[in-house]
Amino acid sequence: MSMTDPIADMLTRIRNACGSKHRRVDIPASKVKVEIARILLENNYIRDVKTVETAEGWKVLRLYLRYAGEQPVIREIRRVSTPGLRKYVGVSEIPRVRNGLGMAILSTSQGLMTDRQARQARTGGELLALVW
C-alpha cells in the first residue's frame, strides 16, 4: 500500500515517540526525511540521526530524541502543507514560530531550510512543518 503523505507520517512517529517517552524512533528513509532530520539535529531538537539497513534491505532513519529532564525538547511538531492543500509563503509571509523560540521548515528552490535561513536567503517556498 502506498503512503499519501510520508512527511506527515514521519512527524506523527516523532510526536508519538515523544509522547511515549521513547529514546529513539525508526522511520523509513527518503531524501526529504533525511534533510528534515538534519535540520532537527542542527537546531538541537534531536540528539543524533543514523541510517540503518534492515535485514530485508530497507533503509531506516533512526532518530535519537532529546529530553530536558523528563520533558521532550520537541513540545509540538505539526505538518502545515499537505498533499491536498499546499501552503506556499513568500519571504515576507514566513511565520515566526513562538516569537522565535520555535522554527518553521520550508522547502525552497535552494533546498530544505529553516525560517531563519530562508529569511536570510530572501527566498520563500512551501511551508512544510512547524516545530517548537
In this predicted structure, what is the pLDDT of residue 3? Answer: 81
Integer angstrom CA distances of residue 96 from 15, 61, 64, 73: 21, 28, 26, 18
* Cβ proximity of 118 and 124 under 8 Å: yes
Compute the distance between CA of residue 117 and CA of residue 91 in angstroms, rounded to an integer: 11
pTM of the model: 0.95
What are 59's three cell numbers?
A: 533503509
Burial class (CB in 10 A: 0-12, 13-18, 19+), 104: buried
In this predicted structure, what is the pLDDT of residue 2? Answer: 66
Compute the distance between CA of residue 74 and CA of residue 98 in angstroms, rounded to an integer: 13
* Cβ proximity of 63 and 27 under 8 Å: yes
Domains of the chain by start residue, with CATH? 6-131 (3.30.1490.10)
Q: What is the mean pLDDT of each run of 10 residues along the chain (132 residues)?
A: 88 98 97 98 98 96 97 97 97 96 98 98 98 97
